[in-house]
Amino acid sequence: MDMFHRHRQADEHDLATMALECALQIPEYRPEALVWKGIEALPQDPKLAFIYLLNAAHAFPLRADIHALLGRSIIAQGQPLLANRYMSNAWQKLPADASLRMMLWQARRLSG
């Protein structure tokens, strides 16, 4: 993952993509690579982003940022009611996290 981050920070997109694909094949790097694949897919394909992020959330159940990204991917799919339910559950598990609270408010606003 260090190689991916170095290439990403240097704006070497092709090399970063190759490093990320390699990281997906290594069990100890796979969860973090799934997060980055989800972030990368979110603007163009929120359904694909959801798949990557959901798998990452299983590996990192206490990472609020991943749950917030999952909520964003659900909203981007046009499912604000589902996002509201998902974010409510995530916020109950991690109530101190501001990113979850903000995403929950957004989901509630859109679903109301």
Residues 68-89 pLDDT 10s: 999 999 999 999 999 999 999 9
- CA dist., res. 28 & res. 106, Å (int): 33
* pLDDT of 112 over the 90 cut: no
DSSP state for residue 94 in the 8-state scheme: S
Nearest 5°: the CA angle 103, 47, 99 is 15
Q: Any idea where the domains of the chain sit in the sequence?
A: 2-111
- CA dist., res. 7 & res. 18, Å (int): 10
CATH number corresponding to 2-111:
1.25.40.10
* pLDDT of 65 over the 90 cut: yes
pLDDT tens, residue by residue, 2-55: 889 899 999 999 999 999 999 999 999 999 999 999 999 999 999 999 999 999
